Amino acid sequence: MRQIISNLANHPLVPRRRVARQFIKFAMVGVVNTSTSFTIYYLTTRLLGVPPLAANAVAFIFAVTVSYLLNKRWTFRDTRRASARQYSKFVSINIVGLILSELIIAVLHHGLGWNDILAFFGAVLIVMFWNFGANKLWTFSGGSRVVPIPPPGE
Nearest 5°: CA angle at 121, between 118 and 124? 155
- 153 occurs within a structural domain: no
Residues 6+ apart with CB under 8 A from 17: 149
Average pLDDT over every residue of 45-60: 92
pLDDT given at position 17: 80
- 84 occurs within a structural domain: yes
* pTM of the predicted protein model: 0.66
| Boundaries of domain holding 30 | 17-139
Residue 144's beta-bridge partner residues? 78
Please give the DSSP secondary-structure letter assigned to residue 111: I
- 7 occurs within a structural domain: no
- 31 occurs within a structural domain: yes
Average pLDDT over every residue of 35-47: 93
Average pLDDT over every residue of 65-72: 91
Instruction: Quote the number of domains for the chain.
Output: 1
Q: How far apart are the first and last CA of the chain?
A: 23
- 152 occurs within a structural domain: no
Query: Does the pLDDT at position 83 exceed 70?
Result: yes
Kindly report, residue by residue over 96-151, the tens digit of the pLDDT: 998 999 999 999 999 999 999 999 889 988 999 999 999 999 999 875 554 444 55
- 3 occurs within a structural domain: no
- 148 occurs within a structural domain: no
